[in-house]
Structure 1
Amino acid sequence: MTTNNSSLRHCWFILSVLLLLSGCLRPSNITTLYTLEPIRQQPLTSEWKDVSEMTLLMPVQLASHLQRRGLLYPQVPGTTRSSATDLWAGPLDQLVSQQIVAGLKDLLATENIAAFPGPRFSTVRYQVEVELNEFSSDGRQFITTAVYTLSDVSNKTILVRKTFRQQDNLNHTGYEGTVTSASQAIGDLSKEIAVSLLAAHRQNVTAHAR
């Protein structure tokens, strides 16, 4: 009886060791969260201070493959997959929206920029819409494609509708490099939107001065 009990304890010991080893050998499923890095930019002009009304950014629209929380990584040429462990810290549309608003505030030197719905009882002059169609890395470059529309709310007219395309070489490998390039891409998109807003506003001012 003693021998049987000893053998049983020995078997349990070996089984426990094997279970512990199998746990140690399993790949880690640690989740890492990423957010877009702030890109501070110098003001393009001081004339926007004369625009007392709000410029409102509508909710950013994402292509279907960008609506998952996981960062995208390349597979076979032309395809991507969403990571299960490397995730955006929040919904990507909201992260992009926050960065565009911050960028426009810097570039136009004004606080009168807001994301939808904006401050209560505010009067909106210009409206910005952004559709993000591509926002991923192919392992060598970060690729961004977006369509932005600028509208004059008071006159109910579309001022500009343009496509923004950019491919930048990744300066760093891994998801850290992807996030750095993604942040810069949104900074560059914000600058193009700001330039277009300025041009449209100047045209409006000239037209009303005639």
Structure 2
Amino acid sequence: MRKFIILSISVFFIIVAALGAKIIFQDTNKKISSFNSSLKFEEKKDYDKAIQAILQNYEENKSSYLYNLRLGWLYYSKGENAKSKTYYQRAGEIKRNSTEAMLGLTLPVSKLEDWDLVQSTYQKILKIDPNNFYANLYLGQIYLNKTEYGKAKDHFEKIYELNPGSYDANMNLGWAYYYLGNISGARELFTNVLMLSPNDTLGMKGYELTK
């Protein structure tokens, strides 16, 4: 009798475990299916259906980084920047050191023209990843537009040192040097720009100014 009870309990736990595994498997399948459908709709630029494919099981996955990141991107693509901002912020709260989510956040925030938040987000990224190409590039451009050429130069030099073959690094550092009076340095960089991008209008303008 005791052996039968032990056997029955064992069978019970096996059944429970099997059911649990089945539920987990079904949940995983839903996630894969939702994302695959969403990607297909996005390829067709049908953002409403791409969003709906994610939202249909968002409630049980609202703590998922990928779900929130995806919705941030899709709402941005659709032009709903306030919603995009919300989901990118949620993704950032889930993965606090994700520079991916922070860079994503700057997209809708730029459209909303919240430049203080844009700038502080780039600065936050650089505390985590000091050599981040895009944070250095875009923060440098903000300083360039503010005529804070020394600060702009520091960021552009960082990306140029790591990416000397980059069009953006050469172009932006060229203009920072020009405004700081480093004409020979600017000319060399604008020469690089025209080597990388023949007949580039902005590159030609910089090159002519440094003759």
The TM-score normalised by the length of structure 2 is 0.29
Structure with the larger helix share = 2
The TM-score normalised by the length of structure 1 is 0.30
Structure with the larger strand share = 1
